[in-house]
Amino acid sequence: MASWYFKVMEQKIDLKSALECWTQLGVDDILVEKSVDRFESIEETLDLVPSKPEAAPRVEPPSRPVQPQVAPAISASEANSKARQLAKSALTLDELRTAMEEFEGCPLKYTATHTVFADGNPKAKVMLVGEAPGADEDRYGKPFVGLSGQLLDKMFSHIGLTRQENLYISNILPWRPPGNRQPTPAETSACVPFIQRHIELVSPDYLIMVGGTSAKTLLDTRDGIMRLRGKWREYKTDGLDQPIKTMAIFHPAYLLRSPGQKREIWKDLLVIKNSLLKDGINLDYA
């Protein structure tokens, strides 16, 4: 085989490993002067999405940017027990945020820009829990501010729930997995005590698990979202006075990719709305 062939192949392999290495380090955004709207063709077929998506809203980063450091080596079980200890000692949401910012047991913290804690009204009776921040959330320091967040806001505003008034939103993981990959079981296990404590401190009447990862983690089950969604269940932990009524719904990112599921999400939202109305929970249609 000609030597030029081996040279070209070597360069290809080098480039591939460089790309993989950058992705692992969280360098997966290519910034250009003008944004390219790759979702335009999808929106035409999905009337759930605003016809012209606005750029992610400008929000002041609420948390200190994570300082770039190297993740200390710590086993998954050590990380989980340290997280449990820190989470349990937090008696307020501010203390919980500080505990998470001080936690060193999840390597994702060291590739993320912000610790994405929560958004919305912490006194709300309805709390949503998603999976993990994406690129926009990592940049702005708030959950669900990108395209799927805009769809989530639109879905819930149709049933009278907005983060400005009566909705509180957080995620299983407060740090973005590089390249928006699925969080690993070790990463989830290191972070889960924090969201469990977060739910205990907010103590909402309703907990809506947004997407399969959130539902599987909080319900501690291997069942998939197709089986879990649309049914009321109970969420219990030792720190809660009483179980919370909970339901899993499709993740808006999945709905953007699968507009055919629109009917199912509307069914689930209506079930949620009717239950809230029955419980006398104030819905905001201002």
174 binds ligand URA (CB under 6 A): no
The least distance separating ligand URA from the CB of residue 145, rounded to whole angstroms, comes to 7
Q: Do residues 152 and 56 lie in contact, with contact meaning Cβ atoms separated by under 8 Å? A: no
Residue 142, classified by CB atoms within 10 Å of its CB into exposed (0-12), middle (13-18) or buried (19+), is buried
- Residues between 243 and 272 that touch ligand URA (CB under 6 A): none
143 binds ligand URA (CB under 6 A): yes
Q: Do residues 247 and 231 lie in contact, with contact meaning Cβ atoms separated by under 8 Å? A: yes
The least distance separating ligand URA from the CB of residue 180, rounded to whole angstroms, comes to 8
144 binds ligand URA (CB under 6 A): yes
Binding segment for ligand URA among 36-44, 78-86, 131-139, 189-197 (CB under 6 A)? 131-139
137 binds ligand URA (CB under 6 A): yes
Pick the binder of ligand URA from 171, 189, 217, 246 (CB under 6 A).
171
CA separation (Å) from 257 to 148, 174, 228, 276, 283? 10, 24, 19, 29, 29
166 binds ligand URA (CB under 6 A): no
The least distance separating ligand URA from the CB of residue 155, rounded to whole angstroms, comes to 13
Distance CA 239, CA 105 (A): 22
- Residues between 181 and 240 that touch ligand URA (CB under 6 A): 211
Q: Which is nearer to ligand URA, 34 or 38 (CB)?
A: 38
Binding segment for ligand URA among 19-27, 84-92, 98-106, 133-141 (CB under 6 A)? 133-141
Cα of 106 vs its chain's centroid, Å: 16
Residue number closest to ligand URA, CB atom: 130
The least distance separating ligand URA from the CB of residue 231, rounded to whole angstroms, comes to 20
Distance CA 196, CA 238 (A): 10
Residue 110, classified by CB atoms within 10 Å of its CB into exposed (0-12), middle (13-18) or buried (19+), is middle
Rg over alpha carbons for the chain, rounded to the nearest Å, is: 20
Q: Which is nearer to ligand URA, 103 or 144 (CB)?
A: 144
Angle, helices 212-219 vs 185-202, to 10°: value is: 80
The least distance separating ligand URA from the CB of residue 238, rounded to whole angstroms, comes to 26
- Give the SS3 label for residue 154: helix
Pick the binder of ligand URA from 105, 107, 133, 204 (CB under 6 A).
133
- Strands ordered across the beta sheet of 126-130: 119-120, 167-171, 126-130, 206-210, 244-249, 233-235
The least distance separating ligand URA from the CB of residue 149, rounded to whole angstroms, comes to 6
Pick the binder of ligand URA from 105, 107, 120, 130 (CB under 6 A).
130
148 binds ligand URA (CB under 6 A): yes
- Residues between 15 and 54 that touch ligand URA (CB under 6 A): none
> Letter for the amino acid at 183?
P
132 binds ligand URA (CB under 6 A): yes
- Give the SS3 label for residue 127: strand
φ, ψ for residue 244, nearest 5 deg: -105, 140
134 binds ligand URA (CB under 6 A): yes
Residues at the contact surface with ligand URA, assessed by CB under 6 A: 130-134, 137, 143-144, 148-149, 171, 211
